[in-house]
Amino acid sequence: MPADDDARPEPRRRPSSVYGVGSEPDARFSLANERTALAWVRTGLGLVAGGVALTSFATFAELPVMLDVVAAVACLAGAGLALYSLRAWSRNEVALRTGLPLPAPSALPVLVVGVVVMGILIAGYAVSTIL
């Protein structure tokens, strides 16, 4: 580590598993990575809010209990996406610092498949109540 000529010492940035590797990337890329992580957190939060709204309807409109199960799964999936944002941010920041290609967003296909499956199930359930 080069001798500090600065008047005030730089506090170590955490986590060291990220900032101890490679060199400082373009600040714009780091900020873009940060915004991406926040977007994943908001996606997870949206799933949690959707699950809470669904269980609210299911309980007070006395809809089938299966909707409560779907709501619980949505809430836990939202929590999982929020956790994924931390992992994705770390891996992306390390890739930016070492100049390697960015890892693929592994949660994206899972999210898309999950949303499509949920949509089909809900549509199927809605049709079955009409028939």
Partner 1 sequence: MPVIVPDGAQPERTALAWQRTLLGVVLGALLLAMTAARAGVPAATVGAAALGVYVTVRMVLRSPAATLRRGTVGSPWPVLRRVVGVVVALGVLGAATAVVGAVRALSSTPGALTGVG
Residues that bind partner 1 (CB under 8 A): 2, 6, 10, 13-15, 18-19, 24, 27-28, 30-32, 34-35, 37-39, 41-42, 44-49, 51-56, 58-60, 62-66, 68-69, 71-73, 75-76, 78-80, 82-83, 85-86, 89-90, 129
Round to whole Å and give the CA distance between 34 and 89.
7
Q: Residue 22: left (phi > 0), alpha (psi -120 to 50), or beta?
A: left
Q: Residue 20 gets which letter from DSSP?
A: T
Least distance from partner 1 to the Cβ atom of residue 84, Å: 9
**E strands present in 36-129:** none
State in angstroms the smallest separation of the CB of 43 from partner 1: 10
Q: How far is the CB of 42 from partner 1 (least distance, A)?
A: 5
The residue among 7 and 101 lying less far from partner 1, judged by its C-beta, is 7
Angle 98-100-105 (CA atoms, 0-180°, nearest 5)? Answer: 115
